[in-house]
Amino acid sequence: MRSGLGPARRCLWPAVHVRPGHGGPGAGPAAGERPARVLLPAKGRRGRGAPWGWGWRWAWRWGAGAPAGGDSENGREKPPLPRGFGAAVERSRDLVRRIKVLSGGTAGGCRCWRGLGQRDTGSMEVWHSMGYLRARAALKAGIPGILVGVSVDGEEVWSEGLGYADVENRVVCKPETIMRIASISKCLTMMAVAKLWEEGKLDLDAPVQKYVPEFPEKVYEGEKVTITTRLLVSHLSGIRHYEKDITKVKEEKEKANRALKLTKSHQDKEQKEKEGKGIEKTDCVKQKKEHDGETKSRNLKPGRRDKEFEQEEYYLKEKFESVIESLKIFKNDPLFFKPGSQFLYSTYGFTLLSAVVERASGQKFTDYMLKMFRDLDMLSTVLDDNEAMIYNRARCYVYNKKGRLVNAPYVDNSYKWAGGGFLSSVGDLLKFGNALLYSYQAGQFKNRNGKLLPGYLKPGTVAMMWTPVPKTEVSWDRDGKYAMAWAVVEKNQQYGCCRRQRHYASHTGGAVGASSVLLILPEELDPEALATWPVAPPRGVIVTIICNMQSVSLNSTALKIAREFDKEKRAQYVS
């Protein structure tokens, strides 16, 4: 028995059948597949005689006609969106399943295929059909549960949950499921910093002691040094991460540098082969390399690859009543290097940053952030508070030394709200990404009749945030550099008919029992076309993936998904 949509089916009609992979009106479903549905509004169902706004949106997309007066949400007229992303959804779902989600997602799940109006649940059917013992065996395959969300040009076109949010109680993942977003919290905190900077309440280049006198002034090798907010957001402050031993940190950095040199040397060798033997053969080598890399990634066990989780401070259980109090963990420790001279990723640097935000705003850090979330319409984004009742919150999992799935150990993340202490849904993270993309592109569009509203941030502010900072590096993307709480890959192409690098921004996250990624791929806008083409921001693809298992690499999958949707979007506009 399918649950959850009975009342909706009775009151929202008629339904338009959609052929998988096409999205056109009137197309029938494939054999053996449940037809997708576009739910049109019943008049006056929501009071005051108003139709369901989202129902009109999907109906308009499939050619049923827009309501009188058009759609002027956010003060801008929306052009008709592409007809559907069925093929991109199917290819992307396959990419996600390669991350080993419970033997390819056979443990059930819920999807909200908004681009095609489809929704499906079936947890109890799956559990009864496969049996409890088979379900337990499936859990050995990989990640318990994973959430995926994709937005194209400001519209959420696909969100889906695969696997389990709660294994013990057989609760499947759904798009509304809330999980730890780990270090994507840094991007949220940067939004607050940027807003305070725009309002003139925060000086990025002032010593942090101007706002937080409780943080002691620092000396490095006998010289008094200055830590600023600008250095904190780019991990150039010299403040340590979870590892306290500077010798081990230096050893790890040397290993990473050697590996990077080997990678670059291999890339140079491939480029020489391309020049000497032609593009066709090199493309085959590249495809084989990508295939081998994906196979290797699939064979690795999620949740057991990262030595970073051996650090004791990942598992703090103490509840801190304020961000100022949490500074005691590291404020008296020596700096690992002179501020501004080297890059060292540091979550504790963002703990100090939260204290700066608190003093600059004149509000408690958590209160200021929650207010910002309301302004951004991120109503599912909350603090990772163990005591609070948070609906749709998923459980977190790890693998023990015997390779068995177990509940993640209890941790209290109140010591790092700013750097890794928030919970969210894929829908909220897409809203956040769209708010940033809108702000970034708003200045490039002609404001016809004053209908284009300003972004949450100014275009120049986001451009500053997404400008790579010298001396930085990115562990999850070898093409990128770290900017201000974002990893950024710049547009680049060295040779004709060869690899072309698109501009995009991303951030990954890893926490106890959780992994995440948020990636923003802006559209390459043509200034001449913007003058005549009636479009409005945001323009681009946003992808977010969250799972309830630690040490899962998600960035490359997110980038591939973004490219799939971008490719299909461009193909639809051309056709």
| CA–CA distance, 63 with 128 (Å, rounded to integer) | 40
- End-to-end C-alpha distance for the chain, whole angstroms: 41
Q: Which of 481, 474, 531, 471 is nearest to 503 (CA)?
A: 481
Rounded (10°) CA dihedral 204, 209, 215, 216 = 120
CB atoms within 10 A of CB 468: 17
Of 243, 260, 401, residue with least CA distance to 308 = 243
Instruction: Give yes or no: 556 in active site.
Output: no
Cβ neighbours of 87 (radius 10 Å): 17
- Specify whether the CB–CB gap between 467 and 488 falls below 8 A: yes
With tokens 């929650």, the residue in question is: 370
Phi, psi of 383 (to 5 degrees): -70, 145
Active-site residue identified among 123, 183, 234, 506: 183
Q: Are 83 and 61 in contact (CB under 8 A)?
A: yes
Question: Distance of CA 439 to CAs 66, 215, 444, 551, 556, Å?
Answer: 27, 33, 10, 32, 26
Q: Are 352 and 239 in contact (CB under 8 A)?
A: yes
- How far is Cα 145 from Cα 153, in angstroms, rounded to an integer? 27
The SS3 of residue 532 is helix
- Residue 43 corresponds to which amino acid? K
Q: In this structure, which amino acid lies at residue 517? A: V
Phi/psi at 491 (nearest 5 deg)? -65, 135
What are the phi and psi torsion angles at 226 (to 5°)?
Answer: -120, 130
Please identify every residue annotated as catalytic.
183
